[in-house]
Amino acid sequence: MSDYMPRDLIAMIPIIGFAAYISIGITKRGIEILKHLKSATEVKQELMIKNIIMDKLSKTDALTDLYNHITFHEYLEKLIEQSECGYLSIHLAVLDIDNFKK
């Protein structure tokens, strides 16, 4: 048979109950942390989308939706670097339209 006396088995009940109570608390806290993590991830994704939109708006002209002057020079510098390394050849055509907004 078992080496446990009835009083030993009765003494284990509070220990098992306490362990179950701690386990439930840990599980609840884990669920809470998971909800906060999900919320933070959603907020981060929204911020990334807004950042991309703001970046596009800062690089394009509102009237024509074409790249603005500053962006043109950024891309031009990168293209010149790639051309000098021999990755590609570039050709450039520039148009200046007078009184375009009229």
**By percentage, how much of the chain surpasses pLDDT 70?**
96
Across 60-71, average pLDDT: 87
pLDDT confidence of residue 19: 96
pLDDT in tens, 18-54: 999 999 999 999 999 999 999 999 999 999 999 999 9
With 70 as the cut, is the pLDDT of residue 83 above it?
yes
DSSP bridge partners of 67: 60
Domain-by-domain residue ranges, the chain?
A: 1-59, 61-102
Q: What is the 3-state secondary structure (H, E, C) of the chain?
A: CCCCCHHHHHHHHHHHHHHHHHHHHHHHHHHHHHHHHHHHHHHHHHHHHHHHHHHHHHHECCCCCCECHHHHHHHHHHHHHHHHHCCCCCCCCCCCCCCCCC
Query: Model confidence at 2, in pLDDT bands (50, 70, 90)?
Result: low
Phi first, then psi, for residue 27 (nearest 5°) are: -65, -45
